[in-house]
Amino acid sequence: MKKLLFLLIFLPLLNFAQIQYTMPSEEDQHEGTWLQWPHNFTYPPWHQEDNEPAFIEMVAALETGENVHIIVYDTNEQIHVQQVLSAASVPLTNVDFFIHPNDDYWVRDNGPIFVYDNNNNLIILDFGFNGWGADAPYALDNQIPTLIANDLNLSYVDLDGFVLEGGSVEIDGNGSAIMTRSSITGADRNPNLTEMQIENYLTSYLGVTNFIWLDGEFGGLLDITDMHIDGFVKFTNMNTIVTMSNSDLIYWGLSTQDISTLNSSTDVNGSPYSFITLPLTQNNVTTSWGGNVNFKGSYVNYYVANDAVLVPVYDDPNDSTALSIIQTLYPSKTAVGIDCRNMFYEGGMVHCVTQQQPISLMPTNMIQINNHYKRLMHTIDVLGRDLAPDNVIENQPLFYIYDDGTVEKKIILD
Q: How far apart are CA 334 and CA 117, in angstroms?
A: 31
Report pLDDT for 17. 82
CATH number listed for the domain at residues 3-358: 3.75.10.10
Average pLDDT over residues 1-22: 61
Domain assignments of the chain as residue spans, ordered by start:
3-358, 371-411
Report pLDDT for 325. 98
Report pLDDT for 368. 35
**Of 249, 245, 213, 246, residue with least CA distance to 231:** 249
CA 302, 340, 25 angle in degrees (round to 5)? 15
Report pLDDT for 238. 87
Chain mean pLDDT for the chain? 90
Report pLDDT for 12. 36
Of 6-10, 78-82, 223-227, 395-399, which gets the smallest average pLDDT? 6-10
CA atoms within a 13 Å half-sphere pointing along the CA-CB vector of 374: 16
- Report whether pLDDT(114) > 90: yes
What residues have CB less than 8 Å from 6, skipping those under 6 apart? 20, 157, 204
Average pLDDT over residues 294-305: 98
Q: How confident is the model at residue 395 (pLDDT cuts 50, 70, 90)?
A: low
Average pLDDT over residues 227-233: 98
Q: How confident is the model at residue 403 (pLDDT cuts 50, 70, 90)?
A: low
Report pLDDT for 411. 59
Report pLDDT for 8. 47
Which residues share a beta bridge with 231? none
Q: Is 83 helix (H, G, I), strand (E, B) or coil?
A: helix
Report pLDDT for 398. 73
Report pLDDT for 378. 72
Report pLDDT for 48. 86
Of 16-20, 69-73, 312-316, which gets the smallest average pLDDT? 16-20
Q: How far, in Å, are 120, 147, 282, 283, 286 from residue 315 at the CA level?
A: 43, 37, 10, 10, 9
* CB 25, CB 171: distance < 8 Å: yes
pLDDT in tens, 339-366: 999 999 999 999 999 999 999 987 644 3
Q: How confident is the model at residue 13 (pLDDT cuts 50, 70, 90)?
A: very low
Q: How far apart are CA 387 and CA 380, in angstroms?
A: 6
Query: Could you tell me the pTM of the whole model?
Result: 0.86
Average pLDDT over residues 62-90: 98
Q: How far apart are CA 269 and CA 272, in angstroms?
A: 9
DSSP H or E stretch at residue 158? strand 156-163
